[in-house]
Structure 1
Amino acid sequence: MKFLLEFLYLLNIFFSTYSLGQGQTYAPQNADCPATSLIRTAGTVASGNQALGAKESLYIEERRKKAVPEAYREYWRNVESSVRRNRARLPEYVKSILLGPSDHLPRVSGALSGGGLRASFVGAGILNALDGRNQTSASRGTGGLLQAMDYLTGLSGGACLVMSMSQANFPGIYDLTLGSIIDETEGWLADMDFVAPAGLNRILENPIFLDTKWWSTLGFQVSQKALAGFDVTESIRSYSQPFPIITSVAESPGQGPIVQRGDAVPLSNNQYEFNMYESGSWDPNLASFIDTAYLGSSLENGQPSKAKGCVNQFDNLGFLVAASSNIFRKYDAFATLFQPKSYRPFLPALKGVLSLIPNPFYGLGTAEYLDRKSKTLSLMDGSFGGGNIPFAPLLVPAREVDVIVAFDAINITQPTIFGCDEPEVPLVIYIPNSPPTDGSATATNLPTASLEVSQYRALSLIEGGTKLATRGISNDPIWSGCLACALVDRSRGRLEVQRQGLCSDCFQRYCFHSV
């Protein structure tokens, strides 16, 4: 057993330096520091100076100019056709907003929860339901919304989905997860038993996308790019995919003793986010970011060490997704749940493992920034700091998000709209992993600690997720219309138009009303 653990550890290191071609590896290395500052101060809401990074701001601006208007036109055609087939009609303002000038278009984003392979595959089904390239989704009136989103965030299992989709050039869900002959990819290798010799050989033979410090138990093969940094794919160059973000939380020195049930750190600990341009935290005690390409550089008060200089190629995507989905700080909660049982004997050796990154914010921030005097960031699963859905990046006022379509892999009863009468915050369209309305066996109830999924089960999970996002409450025939009403509601409010007709009815049925 000791030999196996040592072998798996070395195997993980091997993947961190996986050869991308003859004479090329992707692993941390010393590099010249840029002439410009490595750290960007993001500002705070209280100071009135919160701002996006220049590259992110440009991406969103160009996306909303070049891709989003046509996406909404296509989405409108789909939803109008679906609603009319069910003998209903949307208020005129829905059409005028979706087909109107760009400054009236909704600012919609998606958030994908954690929950292991269940979150990855069922979340993939959710995105499939919103993908205009899927003809079934288009005919149901939900397809096309994915193409119109500004941002897509994920943590843990959701982070695997978000980053693999982004770096695979934003393919259709079935090509991404199950493989594509055209693109010569095998999809996600979630059916691989890496404990068996055949599984180890398959790992060695294939470039895979590492999820967590589970020593390759979840293999997400997309391309060799998954073991490199963020690649500027064609879909990024053309601004045709939502801006991807993943999150993680840190265990910090001096943190408070009060930890919510199910969490591993207090709510006061910092939330960190990683995107293709920057990594850092919007929390007001830090509000700083480093260029993701130089993540891993040892800085003090924002300046590189003269002795060490800068580091690049630390932004290995497998490692960053691992930082978002590392569950081993809470190993005890999962120890008896891992499936198959053959994994359990060696898992105790991983108890407490954290994803460690040199702290680029050493010496920065306010006195309330707990990692201010720590030279290492100790990162873990993004859900261990107070929430299983990555809302935090989408609640940043500078991002101006109107609506969040949130998928929660936890089993809750029905879709709900939150914030219906609170225009100062984003509206949340909450789509939980609810059971089938006909009382049949739940197709999306895979245990969080499952480490293998057969292709047949994967397909079932994806199809189950697609149904979750297209059925509403009790297979509501006009759910697609209600979804459209929610998407335009913040724009409607800014135009000072009253809710009308079908939209009024939808908000009565789907809005959360506190007692």
Structure 2
Amino acid sequence: MRLAQGLLILTLLSQCSFGPALATAVRPGTTEQLINAYAPRDATCPTVPLVRPATNISTLENQYINARKTKANAALAAWLKKVNAGFSTSILPVLGLTHSGGGYRALLNAAGNMQAMDSRDSNSSIGGLYQAITYQTALSGGAWFLSSLAASNWATVSLLQKTIYDSTIPAGLLFPVEPNVFSIVPNYAQIVADIGAKQAAGSPVTLVDVYGRLLGYNLFNSSDGGVDHTMSGLTSMSNFSSHSVPYPILTSIGTDSNSTCTVSLNATQFEFSPYEFGSWDSGTNAFVQTAYLSSNLTNGMAISKKCTTGLDNLGFITGTSSDFFAGACDSQFVPTGMLNALAAALQSVVVKAAGTGGDELLATYRNPFYGSSHSPLVSHSEDLYLADGGASFQIQPIWPLIQPLRNVSVLIVGDCYGNTSSYYPGNISISYTYAQAQANNLVKMPFIPTSAVFIAQNLTSRTQFFGCDEPDTVTIVWLPLVPYIKTASNVDWYDLQVSEDDIASVITNGNLVATQGNDEEWPLCLACAFMKKTGPILPSGCVACFTKYCYAPTA
């Protein structure tokens, strides 16, 4: 019912006129008119180059990681000693945490996974591990969670649930109801004005702009849907500036066209972080400063020495990472009637707000690598067209963390995706990641069996450790979605609303996945997985843990 109502309101709005004044509307909580915060703004270009080749991590990321690692090491050492005093803490691994795609199911299970690891919010046996994480990556539904978390200055999951999720998610994705404010129609009208202001400033707009603004009202604790939240602006958050949280990365997939329905398995993997946007892949092999994303650049230089800011809107980037509209004509994943109706409704708003054709399915960015010799695959294109981070069947954002220059040792991979009838993991996307890593000579990725082997050996029924006996790869702690709470833990990824009771159930199930149902042996086994690559001495109990969890390929 909510979906139908939302589609109706969007369609009616596309037929109404709101006048140009909304481009400078008085936003809630303000007393004066402001230039529309969604529109790009001219800015002075920095003196340092905007674009660099991907020969290393950036100086700013390196500085952040070095400072973060000091705090992460202290937290990990304390947790290890709590688990078993026999662990040596002289050499500690770099830990990464990933959140898969899967709509609200992914958002809520990711929230539960993290809550179990967060010492601020849990007394579980793995409480304190979140404080030991150095990198945190997400895509699609997982990106909904990570963006919401970061925009709230990395608040606890309990606070996010109380102040945002319990209010907005039951209302539905198409209902821009910010917490404790009931102004649905004015918010819809403001979204139309936002899109129009961006287009009037000369920037391309697509249905992802409308979708991203709706996500802002759903995910951010802000009366204006977080219209002024930017990816680069996360650097000003106190928990980020104090290096108290993992370095966040969202992923997306590149394609050659803005009207495609399919994305190739070897499509370019792009990543967004507070400091940079770009790709390690050979066809792009470059990064641009996130704050100046979509500035008009040629060969890394600003045209007329003018730069643009504001186009790294966090809702738009989150919408980019979760842009499943490229599959609007592919019935393999979702009911096409629902998705096509949603795409049509969002397109109608684009037509009204911007006067464009409105048939664009993908997020469009001015190409910062235009004319760049470092980026032969994309250097000829004036625009980049980006889709859902899982569009190439890699539903877990592992790619950024198997880049050798990041030196990650262990990945905790929360997997909420599956295409079986029960929507628990069946078609194992990390198998695709392994195949593509092999093709791109990314030797940090451990061996992963095919989906057929996963199913034949019933590997999806519990956690697996991959890479235990491969000294040069990362160790992957794979946490598949297991139904500890059977009634609600696998809400369909295309569900656009979830009840308050089910929100609580899915988050609780995510806690249980992270603790393996509060298994008393799990903390030791998890610690053994962390330290096998770096610890010179392991407690004797690790032998049984490796026997139970480490995947060993059969001859």
> Which residue in the other structure is 1:86 paired with?
none
| Aligned mates of 1:251, 1:469 — CA distance in 2 | 34
> Which residue in the other structure is 2:126 paired with?
142
Cα offset for 1:120?
A: 0.3
> Which residue in the other structure is 1:85 paired with?
none
The question of whether the paired residues in 2 share the 8 Å contact of 1:252 and 1:269 is answered with: no
> Which residue in the other structure is 2:381 paired with?
374
> Which residue in the other structure is 1:46 paired with?
none
Cα offset for 1:193?
A: 4.0
| Aligned mates of 2:75, 2:23 — CA distance in 1 | 38
| Structure 1 residues 367-423: Cα deviation after superposition (integer angstroms, max 9, x where no partner) | 7x4322111111110001230000011011111100000001022421110011111
- Distance of aligned partners of 1:246 and 1:118 in 2 relative to their CA distance in 1, 3 Å threshold: same
Cα offset for 1:347?
A: 3.7
Cα offset for 1:162?
A: 1.2
> Which residue in the other structure is 2:370 paired with?
362
> Which residue in the other structure is 2:135 paired with?
151
Counterpart selection for 2:76 from 72, 77, 81? 72
> Which residue in the other structure is 2:43 paired with?
31
Q: Which amino acid aligns with 1:37?
A: P
Aligned residue pairs, count: 462
* Within-5 A mapping of 1:32-431: 32-43=44-55, 51-65=56-70, 67-76=71-80, 79-80=82-83, 90=84, 92=86, 94=87, 96-97=88-89, 100=90, 104-137=91-124, 141-179=125-163, 189-193=168-172, 201-202=183-184, 204=186, 214=211, 218=215, 219-223=218-222, 226-227=226-227, 228-229=229-230, 230-231=233-234, 232-252=236-256, 264-306=262-304, 309-333=306-330, 337=334, 345-348=341-344, 353-365=361-373, 369-410=376-417, 411-412=424-425, 413-431=461-479
Cα offset for 1:502?
A: 1.1
- Distance of aligned partners of 1:253 and 1:196 in 2 relative to their CA distance in 1, 3 Å threshold: closer
Cα offset for 1:456?
A: 1.5
| Aligned mates of 1:344, 1:245 — CA distance in 2 | 29
- SS at 1:268 equivalent: coil
> Which residue in the other structure is 1:490 paired with?
533
| Aligned mates of 1:371, 1:503 — CA distance in 2 | 48
Cα offset for 1:198?
A: 8.1
Cα offset for 1:225?
A: 8.4
Q: TM-score of the superposition, structure 1-length normalised?
A: 0.80
The question of whether the paired residues in 2 share the 8 Å contact of 1:394 and 1:401 is answered with: yes
- Distance of aligned partners of 1:197 and 1:288 in 2 relative to their CA distance in 1, 3 Å threshold: closer
* 2:10 pairs with 1:4: yes
- SS at 1:457 equivalent: helix
| Structure 1 residues 173-227: Cα deviation after superposition (integer angstroms, max 9, x where no partner) | 0111331xxxxx676611224667989833746999x998547554112336843
- SS at 1:293 equivalent: helix
Cα offset for 1:5?
A: 3.2
- Distance of aligned partners of 1:19 and 1:303 in 2 relative to their CA distance in 1, 3 Å threshold: farther
* Within-5 A mapping of 1:472-483: 476-483=519-526
Cα offset for 1:37?
A: 1.0
- Distance of aligned partners of 1:403 and 1:462 in 2 relative to their CA distance in 1, 3 Å threshold: same
> Which residue in the other structure is 2:548 paired with?
509
Cα offset for 1:476?
A: 3.6
| Aligned mates of 1:404, 1:18 — CA distance in 2 | 45
| Aligned mates of 1:198, 1:488 — CA distance in 2 | 46
- Distance of aligned partners of 1:221 and 1:29 in 2 relative to their CA distance in 1, 3 Å threshold: same
- SS at 2:288 equivalent: strand
Cα offset for 1:337?
A: 4.8
- Distance of aligned partners of 1:338 and 1:17 in 2 relative to their CA distance in 1, 3 Å threshold: farther
- SS at 2:477 equivalent: strand
Q: Which amino acid aligns with 2:324?
A: I
The question of whether the paired residues in 2 share the 8 Å contact of 1:166 and 1:241 is answered with: no
| Aligned mates of 2:277, 2:380 — CA distance in 1 | 19
- Distance of aligned partners of 1:237 and 1:187 in 2 relative to their CA distance in 1, 3 Å threshold: farther
Cα offset for 1:264?
A: 2.9
| Aligned mates of 1:403, 1:500 — CA distance in 2 | 19
| Aligned mates of 1:197, 1:392 — CA distance in 2 | 33
- Distance of aligned partners of 1:197 and 1:108 in 2 relative to their CA distance in 1, 3 Å threshold: closer
- Distance of aligned partners of 1:251 and 1:19 in 2 relative to their CA distance in 1, 3 Å threshold: farther
- SS at 1:109 equivalent: strand
- Distance of aligned partners of 1:212 and 1:434 in 2 relative to their CA distance in 1, 3 Å threshold: farther
* 2:486 pairs with 1:441: yes
Gaps of 5+ in 1: 44-50, 81-89, 180-184, 258-262
Q: Which amino acid aligns with 1:482?
A: C
- Distance of aligned partners of 1:106 and 1:250 in 2 relative to their CA distance in 1, 3 Å threshold: same
| Structure 1 residues 132-153: Cα deviation after superposition (integer angstroms, max 9, x where no partner) | 123332xxx2111111100000
| Structure 1 residues 305-328: Cα deviation after superposition (integer angstroms, max 9, x where no partner) | 22x821111110001111100000
Cα offset for 1:72?
A: 2.0
Cα offset for 1:270?
A: 1.1
Q: Which amino acid aligns with 1:170?
A: W
| Structure 1 residues 312-359: Cα deviation after superposition (integer angstroms, max 9, x where no partner) | 1111000111110000000134699569x9887454455761100000
| Structure 1 residues 413-468: Cα deviation after superposition (integer angstroms, max 9, x where no partner) | 211100111111110000011133xxx63431100100011222111110011011
- SS at 2:533 equivalent: helix
| Aligned mates of 2:25, 2:134 — CA distance in 1 | 33
| Aligned mates of 1:69, 1:353 — CA distance in 2 | 43
The question of whether the paired residues in 2 share the 8 Å contact of 1:273 and 1:393 is answered with: yes
Q: Which amino acid aligns with 2:241?
A: R
Q: Which amino acid aligns with 1:202?
A: I
User: What RMSD, in angstroms, separates the aligned Cα atoms of the two structures?
Assistant: 3.5
